[in-house]
Structure 1
Amino acid sequence: MSRRNVLRAITATAATAVPLLGAGTARAAVPASAQFVLDGPGGNPVWKRSLHANWVMQSFAYDNTNGHIYFAQTSPGSTNGDLWITKTDLAGTELGAMALHGFGHGVSIAVEPYNGAVHLWTEWKSGSSGFGTRIGRFVFAAGSTLEAGDASIQDRTPSLDTTLINPQPAIDPVSGRLLVRYKVAADMPRIVVFNLSDARAGRLTSGYRLAERALPSRGSWGTANPFQGFTAYGQYAYLLEGPVGTTSYLTTIDLNDVGQSTVVDRFATTAGASLPGREPEGMAIWATSSGPRLAFGFHSNTGGTRQASVFYKSTLR
């Protein structure tokens, strides 16, 4: 560990340390990697594209093997956990859709091409709030409807000897890792990291985790600027926050750091500022031949037509 990281870890521990709950065996460090520059250049590959059934975009993820995007959508005001999953090309043109009944709010989705099929990871088994209480893995099948009780769904919820409230999955497709964001109590979010091969096989106990740490508690600021998505590339996780119609924020988290510290806290982005009813919705890593991209999305509403837009950052340091 560099002197800079040692000092940062000591400072964070003294100021905001949160105990590692359900620690089990000692965790390993996530290998060092480059970090996205949040104020760097990027692009806008998807602009105001309509998705299936005119439901609200909540999250998205890339099939980096076949060149597709999968969007999770919820009905406005719904609390029954029903979702649409819309498959598109890289420009956001619809190629198919699948209905999920009783799964959750669609806060985060992960896509895993594996053995010739596309497997989706989503929150699953919605509770009274409409958010999922478990994480399920299943095969995408365009034109089909999947009920929450279907036997084909694999339960891939981590078992960490602690409370997991509203677990939400993301996949780092470059490093081959599963990340799960969850809460142990109100305004106490955490993140845990596993090798995707272990997660796929259901090895999701404390002894298999690569890292686990607290995420920033936001208090009243977080109430006004709700969490809207997350993803990770290598050593760093990224958060998306913000309400409808005003400023949206990107945050960088070092997975090897401690406490509730951040690397970049509340970076304000003006991407998509002209979108009517602009609301941040979802993050994902887009792996391209020219390198990884940090993608983040926005829902908008043009005269009752709900649309999805995606932007990205591409500079690393």
Structure 2
Amino acid sequence: MGTASIDLTTPALPWLWKKRTLHEPTVLQSFALDEVHQHLYALQLLPGAADSGDLCLNRLDYQGTSLGHMHLKGFGHGVSMGVQNTADGDVWIWTEAAAESGYGTGVTRFHFADGAVRTGSQVAVREPLPGSTHNQPSVCMASHRIAVRHRTATGPRYRVWDLDRFVAGDYTSPVADLAQTGAHPDPAVPFQGYALHGDRLYQLAGSAYDDTTNPPARYGNTYLSCLDITTGALLQRSRTEAGRSLAHREPEGVAVRRAPTPWLCAGFAGGPVGARHFSVFYKPPA
């Protein structure tokens, strides 16, 4: 499908600011939107769970008010996630699954249940890319596709499928297969999330403020970038100073809000250790 890119040089505007409504005291890892019900789902690592891959999934409304949470044991790092709305009204949450060394070796989908605890044995783990690591999904309901970021011996890649075929277990005919590229001018800077939207794939990279390499006075090293999944080409990359006044200011997660017009949304963690808050900024159409 033809998709117009969101201009990454458009000034970012605040949507949610310094919200303390996530269940755990840790930073936001990623988020995705249920536009049918106007819910925002957000993932966090449980305290001290980087190696085990234990996550907290939060559900919030569009004002950032908490609507519940659940725990996911041994699922992954929470680098990205997806929300799938079905014709019969179901809402499926897509995440990493079957964590090894803290990152998913597959992906899964499940229903949100406030207060529940899910383990790997309670979900169907899909391994569309056997032998890969760091499997992280993103769902685009505009194109009805799913992407899985993953690592192989040659580095991180993306593969994209028709969502219905993927759900049916048919991984043989991907829509696209491309290398992760261009996320940041400095490849050593951490990758912080991605989102699929039509033929475009948006990436977020950057690190938290520090006193030496990334001081607050320089307003951070966060970049947004856009890949064309049909060619693998880097279409645009732009540094963003969104949330530059935040203490800590670590970029965490990116999503596209489709209605009423496409917004590219980027998350930022702030606040002190043990009492983190999160903010979401968006880039509207130019």
Checking the alignment, whether the CA contact within 8 Å between 1:165 and 1:185 is kept in structure 2 is no
2:93 aligned with 1:120? yes
Aligned to 1:201: 168
Change beyond 3 A, Cα 1:220–1:313: closer
Superposed, which structure 2 residues align to 1:1-317 within 5 Å? 31-50=1-20, 51-78=22-49, 79-114=51-86, 115-127=88-100, 129-150=101-122, 153-159=123-129, 163-185=131-153, 188-205=155-172, 208-216=173-181, 221-223=186-188, 225-245=189-209, 246-258=220-232, 261-265=233-237, 267-288=238-259, 290-302=260-272, 304-315=274-285
Change beyond 3 A, Cα 1:43–1:144: same
Inter-partner Cα distance in structure 2 for 1:251 and 1:236: 10
Deviation at 1:303, TM superposition (A): 6.6
Checking the alignment, whether the CA contact within 8 Å between 2:184 and 2:223 is kept in structure 1 is no
Checking the alignment, whether the CA contact within 8 Å between 1:157 and 1:204 is kept in structure 2 is no
Change beyond 3 A, Cα 1:227–1:145: same
Backbone CA RMSD of aligned residues: 2.0
Q: Which has the larger radius of gyration?
A: 1
Checking the alignment, whether the CA contact within 8 Å between 1:182 and 1:190 is kept in structure 2 is yes
> Which one has a larger percent helix, Structure 1 or Structure 2?
1
TM-score (norm 1): 0.81
Checking the alignment, whether the CA contact within 8 Å between 2:205 and 2:222 is kept in structure 1 is yes
Q: How many pairs does the alignment contain?
A: 273
Deviation at 1:219, TM superposition (A): 10
Please give the secondary structure, in 1, of the residue aligned with 2:164: helix
Checking the alignment, whether the CA contact within 8 Å between 2:13 and 2:242 is kept in structure 1 is no
Taking every aligned residue pair, what percent have the same amino acid on both sides?
37
Checking the alignment, whether the CA contact within 8 Å between 2:24 and 2:44 is kept in structure 1 is no
Please give the secondary structure, in 1, of the residue aligned with 2:121: coil
Deviation at 1:43, TM superposition (A): 2.6
Inter-partner Cα distance in structure 2 for 1:227 and 1:182: 13
Checking the alignment, whether the CA contact within 8 Å between 1:156 and 1:204 is kept in structure 2 is no
